[in-house]
Amino acid sequence: MTETIAAISTGLSNSGISIIRVSGPETFQVMDRIFRGKKSGKKLSEQKTHTIHYGWITDGDEIVDEVLVSVMRAPHTYTAEDVAEINCHGGSLVTKKVLKTVLKQGVRLAEAGEFTKRAFLNGRIDLSKAEAVMEVIRAKSDLALKNSMAQLQGNVLKEISALREKMIHHTAFIEAALDDPEHISLEGFTNELKTSIIEIRERLYRLISSAENGRMLREGIRTVILGKPNVGKSSLLNVFAGEERAIVTDIAGTTRDTIEESVTVRGIALALIDTAGIRSTEDVVEKIGVEKAKKAAEEADLILYLADATNEVTEEEKEILSLLVNKKFIVLLNKIDLCEEPDTSVLEQLTGQPVLCISAKKEEGLDALYDTIEKMFFQKELSYNEELYITGERQKQSLQDAYDAMGKVLDSIEAGMPEDFFSIDLMQGYESLGEITGESVDEDLVNTIFREFCMGK
């Protein structure tokens, strides 16, 4: 890469500082032309790596801003190229003016994700680590952040490399035996290969299965609040959100559409969805809202089913309960502040689960709800341990392709096919896993991946 690039690497706001990152072969020559140090004649191109220097960014005779500049020399930088980071005052105007001064020196504005792309192309990180960088930035919960940091530290690379090593080992052995049958025997190899392939497939299956949990880590658990009109669904959403996100009235059917809010409970990200109350209605708009509520329930990871403690369970409500079949759900009896002895027996009998009594209005009983969500997802299914969660759809597909290829190897073994048939599918699996780390991926895919990154990263 011969071009030197630059971009603002911090958000444009009235913050204390902003950072403009410059990377490429002409980095320090450019900085020498626009940086004026406290000591006259000081050149950044002559300074030691990983040092910070005080001075001013200038545009001719004009002083643009007072700055600190970090000098970092290749290859020990984020991009593995020469890098300078200009720490200027925060604020949109001054930050843009400093960047404009850099670009006037023949530097190109970096594309989205181009710094990380250069880190990948220069061999400092593999593709799985590059994608983990963006996952760290997008993390919505402590759990998601921990998993992303594990990937950034190379957990995916380590796991994939180990599987690829086994595949290439078997392939190399087959090829060597076919080339030199007098000295290398394939006797007994088929049984050994079968055992190994079964183990590889089991590990691939576990990784593929982790992708659903990985999706919930990345996007949040799709949590739908469901129930009849006027049972307090919008009030519950507002409690979770900590603000008035939904209109609350005593009029049934106030919520006509789904309302979405991202919240965090006990370190777990929830993509919370308030829905229209489900009932038979002739109102065209409300009817659309009811259908959206049902669709949201079908796609939910978790349903919070809300009932009214001041009313008996109706036949219409029993029909709504059918939406909970084969779903994870929590049953909540709301408005307990309006009755002396809430009766949970009917709902418990209908759902086969304990019922939590709450008052969304008074914010009572919510700790028990949070505890239940934590036990359901955090402590059991999504607990953070040494298990690796695949968070990207691209990675999941590559794992599936490798899994299918190993299945073909087993089919060939069972069919008594010649050993060279095994090599074809072993190499297919090897190449599929290489797409995760970037060792066998085309340029177009690389460009697509990095276009999803934010500017300055």
Same domain membership, residue 431 and residue 396: yes
Say if strands 355-357 and 329-334 run parallel, antiparallel, or are unpaired: parallel
Q: How confident is the model at residue 457 (pLDDT cuts 50, 70, 90)?
A: confident
Q: What is the pTM of this model?
A: 0.70
- What's the N-to-C CA distance of the chain in angstroms? 17
**Is 456 part of any domain?**
no
**Burial of residue 20, with CB atoms counted within 10 A of its CB: 0-12 exposed, 13-18 middle, 19 or more buried:** buried
User: What pLDDT score does 277 carry?
Assistant: 65
Is the separation of the CB atoms in 30 and 85 below 8 Å? Answer: no
Residue with tokens 């900590």: 242
Among 334, 355, 381, the domain-final residue is 381
DSSP 323: G
What is the rounded (10 degree) CA torsion for 310, 316, 317, 323? Answer: -160
Q: Which helix (H) or strand (E) element contains residue 289?
A: helix 284-299
Pair 282, 320 in one domain = yes
Return d(Cα 266, Cα 129) in angstroms, integer.
27
Same-domain check for residues 186 and 101? no
pLDDT, tens only, 119-137: 999 999 988 888 888 788 7
Establish if 49 belongs to a structural domain.
yes
Q: What is the DSSP letter of 379?
A: I
312 found inside a domain: yes
In a domain, 120, yes or no: no
What pLDDT is recorded for position 366? 87
* CATH value at residue 10: 3.30.1360.120
Task: Say yes or no to pLDDT of 60 above 60.
Answer: yes
pLDDT classification of 257: cutoffs 50, 70, 90: low
Question: Total structural domains in the chain?
Answer: 3
Instruction: Tell me what pLDDT residue 1 has.
Output: 65
Closest CA to 82 of 105, 50, 35: 50
411 three-class SS: helix
Angstrom distance (rounded) from CA 5 to CA 450: 15
Residue 126: inside a domain, yes or no? no
What is the three-class DSSP state of 226? strand
* Higher-scoring residue by pLDDT: 226, 281: 226
Q: Quick one: pLDDT at residue 409? A: 95
Q: At residue 67, does pLDDT exceed 50?
A: yes
Q: What is the dihedral of CA 192, 198, 200, 203, to 10 degrees?
A: -150
**Domain-ending residue, one of 60, 79, 110:** 110
Say which DSSP state 352 is in: S
Closest CA to 347 of 314, 370, 325, 371: 314
CB neighbourhood size of 212 (10 A):
14
Beta strands in 221-373 (DSSP E): 221-227, 259-265, 268-274, 302-308, 329-334, 355-357
- Looking only at Cα atoms, what is the longest distance across the chain? 89
CB 21 within 8 A of CB 115: yes
Q: How many CA atoms lie within 13 A of 309 on its CB side?
A: 21
- In single-letter form, the type of residue at position 290 comes to V
- Which DSSP string corresponds to 169-221? HHHHHHHHHHH-TTTS--TTHHHHHHHHHHHHHHHHHHHHHHHHHHHHHHH-E
- Shared domain for 204 and 150, answered yes or no, is yes
In a domain, 339, yes or no: yes
Are 46 and 144 in a shared domain? no
Assess whether 267 and 376 both reside in one domain. yes
- 159, 40: one domain: no
DSSP tag of 266: T
Q: Exposure pattern of 217-238 as b/e (b: 16+ CB <10 Å)? A: bbbbbbbbbbbbbbbbbbbbbb
Asked if 103 and 152 sit in the same domain, the reply is: no
- Mean pLDDT value across residues 133-159: 79
229 and 363 both lie in a single domain: yes
One domain for residues 210 and 234: no
Does 281 have pLDDT greater than 70?
no
List pLDDT tens digits, range 197-252. Answer: 999 999 999 999 888 777 777 778 888 888 888 888 888 888 887 755 544 444 44
Cross-strand bridge partners of residue 54: 68
- Mean pLDDT across 317-340: 84
**Got the DSSP string for 12-72?**
SSS-SEEEEEEESTTHHHHHHHHEEESSTT--GGGSPSSEEEEEEEEETTEEEEEEEEEEE
Same domain, residue pair 267 and 191 = no
Q: Which residues of 326-355 are buried (b: 16+ CB within 10 A; e: fewer)?
A: eeebbbbbbbbbeeeebebeebeebbeeeb
84-93, 363-372, 383-392: segment of lowest average pLDDT:
383-392
Q: What is the CATH number of the domain that holds 258?
A: 3.40.50.300
The pLDDT value recorded for residue 364 is 86
327 and 271 in a common domain: yes
Q: What is the residue type of 233?
A: K
DSSP state of 112: T
For residue 125, tell me if it sits in a domain. no
Q: What is the mean pLDDT of residues 139-166?
A: 83
Alpha-carbon distance of 278 to 338, in angstroms, equals 23
pLDDT at 384: 44
Examine residue 124 and state whether it is found in any structural domain, yes or no: no
Alpha carbon of residue 372 to chain centroid: 24
pLDDT at 45: 94
Chain centroid offset of residue 54 CA: 38
User: Average model confidence (pLDDT) for the chain?
Assistant: 84
Domain that holds residue 28: 5-110
